[in-house]
Chains A and B, each alone.
Chain A
Amino acid sequence: MNDRNGHSPLRAHEGAGEGAQAHEAPMFQGIQGGRPVAEGAGHQDRRRRSGKRGRGEQTMVPDAEFRSYYGRPVLKPPVWKHEIPAYLFTGGLAAGTAVVAAGADLTGRPALRRVSWLGSFAGLLASLWFLVSDLGRPERFHHMLRVVKPTSPMSVGTWILTAFGPGVGAAAVNELVPQRWRHTWPARLLNRLARPLGLSAAAIAPGVASYTAVLLSHTAVPGWNEVRDELPFVFTGSAAASGGGFGMVFAPVEENGPARAFAAVGAAQELVASRVMEHKMGLIREAYEHGHVARFGRGAEWLTIAGLAGTVLLAGRSRAGAAASGLALLAGSACQRFRVYEAGVETTKDPKYVVVPQRERLNARTP
């Protein structure tokens, strides 16, 4: 337990001592050497509600005290709503399916190509909807296009999506052209352009799948910033699992071999990267391991494990097995995105995630 709880002295802090202290001296904020008392009592209550982890754990470790301004957040919790984690999922899906679609196009798998381009297009449209509707001023979405700003991952992402979108759109619309219009010149032109444009989109897809990690990590939010080294691998693994999973759900078994392979590699990478990420977490682990965030985490892990097992064992033999495995991978990917997103939000609401690591850093610098 010790290595998993690098900072658990905070947890140890909620022993009986704190409660007693709260009643003896309830009057002062920021007492020298102790946490604000009223605030401490509140935390005790919070831990009790959410904690499967017991109190008084790790009593060997000295109390880590931290002080705050009446327990109020130091950071502003994100103003983003559920649209953003939803976009993380649909954006990853659009990228993953684009890679599968382009590969299917080149290797002569028409059914896999068709469903994957359509899936990519649907993911892209959903992404754009989520991104624009989450703005405070949605009618000004095009202001994103007035600058190119390498210091802003959101600006970089805007241009990645701008480069990615048309190719996916062309390839997907080409799949949708009805038979009776196929001989008209616009349809023939589109048909000719669909492959190069689709391939260019697939070339940009790795950027679409990965930039969202830096989008989150490039903030002051401890739960996102502190996992900056591992998050890109979690997110691209998740994108590959969902992209392959989509092909497994909608394409026939005889064509979806590469989708299965892509999904399996992605799912395995997501599981490993996620484990590494959890292993290296400091105090933010608490946010990842409690409440609804933990439920998303367990959902992501089990669904991905089940999906991976199904992909390897069943999906090559039965359409139903492939579809079930694909659905599990899609759901696991979505859970992963919501889990990381929500964990970050939690770490902005409680000042300890900001104060404790920064104080430790300061103390280490000035012995």
Chain B
Amino acid sequence: MKGRNSLSGPLADPAGDAGYTVDHPDRVGFFTDTSVCIGCKACEVACKTWNAVPEDGLDLLGMSFDNTGSLGANSWRHVAFIEQPRSTGRQDPGLAGLPTGASGSGLSAEAVEPMLRHAPRGGGELGTQALPTAQETATRVSPVENLGMPAFTRPGDGHGEEGRTSFRWLMASDVCKHCTHAACLDVCPTGALFRTEFSTVVVQQDICNGCGYCVSACPYGVIDRRPHDGRAQKCTLCYDRLHDGMEPACAQACPTQSIQFGKLDELRERADQRLAQLQDLGVTEARLYGRDPDDGVGGDGAFFLLLDEPEVYGLPPDPVVVTRDAKAMWKKVGQAAAAFALAGIGAFVSTAVGGRR
């Protein structure tokens, strides 16, 4: 709340803006290079282990290898899996000439998808708790779906080479973005959410009273309230480990350095180099997400290299921190309040003037 751009726009030093003295540590973050992610989920496991994050419900979502579903109160890292009928750059998927047909994951996804839509939070509970079963939701979703399995033919036996498409898997480990302008932090009415000296955003569990405002404020759908516990939960960027000079658990566990931890300035430089390298290799669809300090949230502390549009990974294409419009909103509220007061005064005055009781 100190200087210019405290509420939106580019801001070089969020910790300084939050009131830390000049000798605070440099801003740190994650650069998640999804082009080298192999979908091993070691990050999910390491995060859960280190932070003692409880089980998020055992679901078989039937849509891909992603059975976590999304980030949530009980999933602070989430690996997305996307199948696409194309290759990445000049990469050869090694499938040419094989009579293999399409995968069946679309079919199973179709069978499972109604469960998502009938869930109380429309699938938003993924990452926090298990989806209710068909009986619990009392829907008309058929409990039995024919997925064409088991079958005695090999996959693709019915197809020739002409049915063949190219193929790639996109995998991406999602995490809290630790925004430069964090809506969750700004709207928190208890001060439980705070900006650390590393410019990350952390919930103080002894303060949070579970009002849920941060859940609706986050433009990325990251933070959520933990059922039975009642408090808001999200990635802390391993605040405890940072104090001991260690890197966060997920980054340490990542076997391919898809998750890179470091000073944000260095990470941004590294990301720019990696992007240029990929584009030289013909991967023109590569792009950085959350890297730009001029974007709607002032840039992310955790940003990504993606191989397709953000929404394909479940990320909002152009998120904006709501505090950008706070002033305009309060102005309208002021006008409405004034109109309300005038109506009240006018009601009594007009009645008096009109001579009625």
> Is B207 a contact of A265 with CB atoms below 8 Å?
no
> Is B348 a contact of A46 with CB atoms below 8 Å?
no
Which residues of chain B are near A140, meaning CB under 8 Å?
190, 208-210
> Is B215 a contact of A29 with CB atoms below 8 Å?
no
**Nearest CB of B to A165, in Å:** 16
Q: Is B123 an interface residue (CB 8 A)?
A: yes
- In the complex, which residue of chain B has the Cβ closest to the Cβ of A106? B348
> Is A219 a contact of B350 with CB atoms below 8 Å?
no
Which residues of chain A are near B69, meaning CB under 8 Å?
72
> Is A349 a contact of B217 with CB atoms below 8 Å?
no
Q: Is A129 an interface residue (CB 8 A)?
A: no
- In the complex, which residue of chain B has the Cβ closest to the Cβ of A224? B216
Chain B proximity mask over A3-37: 1 for CB below 8 Å, otherwise 0: 00000000000000000001001111111100001
Interface of chain B residues 192 through 213 with chain A (CB within 8 A): 192, 207-213
Q: Is A262 an interface residue (CB 8 A)?
A: yes
Which residues of chain B are near A166, meaning CB under 8 Å?
none
**Consensus secondary structure, chain A interface:** helix
Q: Is B11 an interface residue (CB 8 A)?
A: no
Q: Is A128 an interface residue (CB 8 A)?
A: no
**Nearest CB of A to B193, in Å:** 10
> Is B124 a contact of A76 with CB atoms below 8 Å?
yes
Q: Is A266 an interface residue (CB 8 A)?
A: yes
**Nearest CB of A to B125, in Å:** 8
> Is A265 a contact of B346 with CB atoms below 8 Å?
yes
> Is A135 a contact of B351 with CB atoms below 8 Å?
no
**Nearest CB of A to B315, in Å:** 7
Of B72, B121, B334, B335, chain A has the most CB atoms within 10 Å of the CB of B121
Which residues of chain B are near A269, meaning CB under 8 Å?
339, 343
| C-alpha spacing A99/B192, complex, angstroms | 35
Q: Is B333 an interface residue (CB 8 A)?
A: yes
Which residues of chain B are near A359, meaning CB under 8 Å?
309, 311, 317-318
Q: Is A162 an interface residue (CB 8 A)?
A: no
Which residue from B106, B326, B340 sits with its C-beta under 8 Å from A29? B106
6 contacts between A and B (CB under 8 A): A29-B83, A38-B110, A67-B311, A146-B190, A152-B189, A350-B122
Task: Give me the interface of A with B, judged by CB distance under 8 Å.
Answer: 22, 25-32, 37-39, 41-42, 45-46, 66-80, 95, 99-100, 103, 106-107, 109, 134-138, 140-141, 143-144, 146-147, 149-155, 158, 202, 205-207, 209-211, 213-214, 217-221, 225, 228-229, 232-233, 235-236, 239-240, 244, 254-255, 257-259, 261-262, 265-266, 269, 316, 348-351, 354-355, 358-359, 361-362
Q: Given contacts A76-B215, A136-B208, list 11 more A-B pairs with CB under 8 A.
A: A26-B107, A137-B230, A144-B190, A205-B344, A229-B332, A265-B343, A265-B346, A266-B340, A349-B123, A349-B124, A362-B317
Task: Give me the interface of B with A, judged by CB distance under 8 Å.
Answer: 1, 7, 61, 63-64, 69-70, 72, 80, 82-86, 102-107, 109-110, 113-114, 116-117, 121-124, 126, 165, 170, 183, 186-192, 207-213, 215-226, 229-232, 308-309, 311-319, 322-323, 325-326, 328-330, 332-341, 343-348, 350-352, 354, 356-357
